[in-house]
Amino acid sequence: MKRSLRFHAAHLVAKSAMCVQKLLRMNASYFPGKLALKLCPDFGQQIGKPEKIIAVTGTNGKTTSCNLALSILEDNGYTVLSNRLGSNVNAGIATALISGSTITGSIKKKYDLALFEVDERSSKLIYSYAKPDFLLCTNLFRDSIKRNAHTEYIFNFIDSAVPEKTHMILNADDIISGRLAENNSRSYFSILPMETDHKKCENIINDMSICPKCHANLEFSNVRYHHIGTAKCPACGFAMPKADYIAEADTWDMKLMVAEADGKHTYKLVNDSIFNIYNQLGVVALLREFGLTQDQISRSLMKAQIVGTRHTSDEVNGVKIVTNLAKSLNPVACSCVFDYVGREPGTKEVILILNGAAGTRESSENITWIFDTDFQFLNTPDVKRIIIGGIRAEDEKLRLLIAGYPEENIICTEGELDTPKYLQLDCDSVFILHDLNFSGYGAEIKETVINMLKNKEAK
Amino acid sequence: MKIEILFPAFANLHGEKAAVQYLTQCLPEAEFISTELTDEPAFATEKVDMIFIGSMTESQQELCIEKLLPYKKKIEELILEGTVFLSVGNSLEVFCSSIEDGDRSIPALGIFDYTAKRDFNRRYNSLILGEMEGMKIVGFKSQFSHLYGDNKNEYLYKVVRGDGICPGSKYEGIRRNNFMGTYTLGPLLILNPDFTKYIFSLLGCENAELKFEESIRRAYMIRLKEFEDPDRKMD
């Protein structure tokens, strides 16, 4: 490809900026790309790309899915260019491409493919130059209202941006994301009914309760969470198509049996939470479509783990200490985590540090999302105590009260790191649920709890 | 007492379901009627004391307009008679003259002479602090559109910080008799204990208990302090 002088200048400046940032031990995952795109608006079109591009998008699970897909691909000998450590917006993708480029702007020969996590709202900009051969959309849910408004808005954003030759990997149990790019080729994945399914939606919000074709009320035969499940329109007959990858999850033996056209294969189940089962299934479907064999995927999954900042589990003196990401501003992600905690066996104490510090000190957080979050899932007799830390503790307490949780079992403290001192450590588990901004606090609190348990035992 | 919730299956984008749940906890004697798109509204055939409608997607606004258009006269009568309406978020636009979206003009119910102008490229996010009959109102806005028209004689509350129905406006929402429409988002009642009490008084239940009053007031006071702090940004 003939590249313009302007491109070369922008590329050189961006490469230099990346070197300087790395020398200064800064995270060079955004700025070089931003600079290049500023200096050369069609930089993305001109920079070299690997022959194959895979993109992963969706409201929840895209980072987990990307990390899992990346580990499997690398384990199978592929050299993958990714934005794993960086930003998933336009400048982040451009930065990843810069990092994988030679001095002339071509892609380094070692890269077999690119795997990009793509922010839903950046779809138009990114897919205009990084046209994915395969696009996995994990799901579409209500997310940060300030940025993402509602699912219809985000659906339209992605739908209008997907290139026509992209093969879609879609969740057949999600009536929203499952209808993306209706004219594109596609493969669907789905999970067979599970014991934990409901007959009707138990969540506060269901963003697909009316038929997308005729607007009559949809009838769900099973609901997994929110609008995820199997539904049919009684008026016009609308239903999602049969899936190509149909899974059965055995959370007892930690197995995922996936039926596809040429038979059934059993994989190790990496994590037993329903949203991570979907993430894993989506990755299996994606990599099967990409061309990996079932054995290749299976072998790699034996070594795979969900990244530690999102979920950790330790045990000290018989007490389980779990940290789990609960993304603030995202009611569905938090609801899924609350559901998971509520269903876990044994008695629990729960620490909540949900509110992102960013914005709350300078401004005041729009907290409408907490009223769309299923705090009622924490209202079980097993959840003995909830300790809420942070600037919005009183709002979350109020939300718990509306959800029916007993006031005497709620403790509020403004300091996030003060939360462990209110634990009584008289339960089977301690769950530390933290926002992404508080991953560091989550780890710190976990260490405090571990030390408290060790000291308790020593006494 | 009957309280009708219009289109709860979808008009619930920003905390409205929890707001209705809170209302049911405060008013345990009241009958709550959920009216979906396929139902005939209860207000068309029986006396209801309050009608609540929440935020929805832009395409759902059109479904809502189509559904309510045959009942326009009835809605006007109810407003004249003093029925309590609480319309939050962009549901307010449904009751106005039209919604303009680029070159497209979508006729709405036409009960209030205001035009909404929508711009999908500009999401407007803001905190809002207002005053209404001695009460301080705190709330959140997050929307693609603004309302244009002169509401200085029929606003819901005066703006202290933030914008009213459109950028620069000092008057938020529409108030005609007991019709109260505001872009302020769903959990308005949970965030504002005095406003909720005020609604109860309009419904003739001055003595209704505010559930979790101590907790709700503590959260309100913290928020009010933040919103009144001139160093805090409102966006």
**CB contacts, 8 Å: A399 with chain B:** 18
Q: Does residue A153 lie in a domain region?
A: yes
Residues A42 and A129 in one domain: yes
Looking at the structure of chain A, the number of domains it has is: 2
Range of the domain at A277: 5-189+260-301
Residues A295 and A335 in one domain: no
Amino acid at B175: R
| Domain edge (last residue) among A301, A320, A350 | A301
* The predicted structure's pLDDT at residue A439: 82
| Domain edge (last residue) among A301, A331, A350 | A301
Residues A176 and A268 in one domain: yes
Q: Does residue A72 lie in a domain region?
A: yes
Specify the CATH number for the domain of residue A416.
Answer: 3.90.190.20
Q: Place A151 in a pLDDT band, splitting at 50, 70 and 90.
A: very high
Q: Does residue A354 lie in a domain region?
A: yes
Residues A335 and A419 in one domain: yes
Residues A293 and A353 in one domain: no
* A371 lies within 8 A of chain B by CB: yes
Residues A410 and A449 in one domain: yes
Residues A177 and A136 in one domain: yes
Give A80-104 as a DSSP string.
Answer: EEE-TTS--SHHHHHHHHHHTB-TT
Tens-digit pLDDT profile for residues A72-105:
999 999 999 999 877 999 999 999 999 999 999 9
Residues A275 and A400 in one domain: no
Residues of B with CB under 8 A from a CB of A: 9-10, 12-15, 17-19, 21-22, 25, 36-38, 57-60, 63, 120, 123, 125, 127, 140, 142, 144, 185-187, 190, 211-212, 215-216, 218-219, 222-223, 226-227, 232-235
* The predicted structure's pLDDT at residue A89: 95
d(Cα A355, Cα A369) in Å, to the nearest integer?
11
Residues A159 and A270 in one domain: yes
Nearest beta carbon to residue B9 from set A152, A210, A401: A210
Give the DSSP letter of residue A192.
-
What domains, with CATH codes, occur in chain B? 2-228 (3.40.50.880)
Q: Does residue A212 lie in a domain region?
A: no
Q: Does residue A171 lie in a domain region?
A: yes
Residues A297 and A336 in one domain: no
Let me know: does A276 contact A270? Beta carbons within 8 Å. Answer: yes
* The predicted structure's pLDDT at residue B206: 86
The SS3 of residue B95 is helix
Q: Place A308 in a pLDDT band, splitting at 50, 70 and 90.
A: low
What does each C-alpha distance from B122 to A34, A295, A364, B102 come to in angstroms?
21, 48, 21, 13
**CB contacts, 8 Å: A205 with chain B:** 12, 17
Residues A293 and A428 in one domain: no
Show the low-confidence residues of chain B (pLDDT under 70): none
Q: Does residue A248 lie in a domain region?
A: no
Tens-digit pLDDT profile for residues B13-53:
999 999 999 999 999 999 999 999 999 999 999 999 999 99
Nearest to B54, CA basis, from B2, B101, B105, B5: B5
Q: Does B15 sit within 8 Å of A369, measured CB to CB?
A: yes
pTM of the model: 0.92
Specify the CATH number for the domain of residue A39.
Answer: 3.40.1190.10
Q: Does residue A224 lie in a domain region?
A: no
| Domain edge (last residue) among A250, A281, A301 | A301
* Minimal CA separation from B71 to chain A, in Å: 19
Q: Does residue A322 lie in a domain region?
A: yes
d(Cα A321, Cα A200) in Å, to the nearest integer?
32
Instruction: Say which range, A53-67, A327-341, B15-29, B213-227, has the weakest mean pLDDT.
Output: A327-341
Q: Does B227 sit within 8 Å of A149, measured CB to CB?
A: no
Residues A377 and A267 in one domain: no
